[in-house]
Amino acid sequence: MSVKLTLTSLAFCLLSTSPLCHAQNAIIFLGDGMGQTTIAATRIFEAQKNDKDWRSHTLSFEKFPNVALVRTHTVDSQISDSAGTMSAIMTGHKTRSGVISVKPKYERGDCKSVFEDPPRTLFEYASEAGFSTGVVTTSRVTDATAAATYGHSPDRMWENDSKTPNSALKQGCGDLASQMIDFGEGQGQGQGLDLVLGGGRESFLPVDSVDPEYPESRGVRKDGKDLIIDWLKKDDGRKFVWNRDQFRKLNPPGTGRVLGLFEPREMVFNLESVRGKGNEPSLVEMTEFAVRFLENKAGKNGAYLLMIEGARIDHGNHAKIPILALTETIEFSKAVKKAVSMVNLEDTLVLVTADHSSSIAFTGYPEADMPILASLSYPSFSLIADDGRDHVMAESEEDPNDFDPSAIPSPHAGEDVAVYAIGFGAGRMHGTLEQHSLFDIIFEAIL
């Protein structure tokens, strides 16, 4: 197991192959769809909202000393989705779009990819090495980015058994919710995710169950299983929470294991949350809890691996509502700042990146004092709907409730994304990298 490093020993380790020269911990921040245009626009937007000089303003992670560009293509697509890209980061293998942590030999939907030489994920390696592990997301915990940490599936859509074809279930190609509950079983003592926070309750509840928060909502599992109860029964000390009030009572952190599922599907947008919608923790709150929980769980000589996803950045861009994407990115930046303030960077690697970019455009010649929202638009392969009307949203619009639901979703974009790094091992982040090489950098830093 790694030990704490002084600055002197850190310098020595840069030239050494000693097994003691590793970081104890790694925190991977993933801004879904957070391309460079989104970052630049958010920087200006945050400054304008707070009456600061946008010329000198930066987001928290833009101050990190190590920066590189990352190529996000998959083996079958110039422009990928979150499944193929996050799988590359988690396994060290470029793969197909739409699949979760499997190699690209077989087509999407073919269960052979799960059974024949599936690559192990960073979280599998870390769990087997005795690390404490945690996953935090503002999307569903079975959505592509989070699922790639623990799951192996030939199709990202197979989040629960009702979405998984019967032929695949018969082959033992399990749904992602079931895989999350069973993660680590049979791999040794103390395995499995110690902390999971996000949305997606419906995939864990049977169809005849009523959601605890919304009486009109039901679970979607057709196998009759309540996976939350199954998870709680695995051993003592496990706690399940589904709202902010329960979450804030989780004290002291670091004992047992915690599962928090705060919405049937995605968590609410941060802009909606600050306006009173939803009874759920913010990304900053979840980040603070996760770092404290895992540090306490790991103990003095322990280690942990944590992934934190700002998922709804991408959702705001898809919906072509700039203020949603930008406010999500601000919250993401605050979460990064909170985490960095809590850790010892001599033994912790903090990495901030995106799975892919989104096709937001920051164009024209706006004057210095012009509101940034008036300068943003969303390129698309097809901006004109079948009825001939252009459904691009008014760029200055700040109310998501006025969004036209018939608008054509904005697609992903294919340019390189950035990776920002600080802490132990961060010096390897430079130049232009293939996305799957992030796996090697993180692996070699902590394992």
Catalytic residues: 82
SS3 193: coil
In terms of Cα–Cα distance, which of 148, 142, 124, 134 is closest to 178?
A: 142
Radius of gyration over every alpha carbon of the chain, rounded to an integer in angstroms: 21
Q: Long-range contacts: 202-209, Cβ < 8 Å, 24+? A: 202/160, 202/264, 202/265, 203/140, 203/142, 203/159, 203/160, 203/175, 203/176, 203/177, 203/227, 204/160, 204/177, 204/228, 204/261, 207/162
Q: What type of residue is 291? A: V
Residue 206 DSSP class: B
In whole angstroms, give the CA distance from residue 263 to residue 278: 9
Question: What distance in Å separates the CA atoms of residue 160 and residue 176, rounded to the nearest whole number?
Answer: 6
Cα dist from 15 to 8, 235, 254, 349, 425, whole Å: 12, 44, 35, 18, 12
Q: CB of 12 within 8 A of CB of 3?
A: no
* Integer Cα distance of 136 and 138 in angstroms: 7
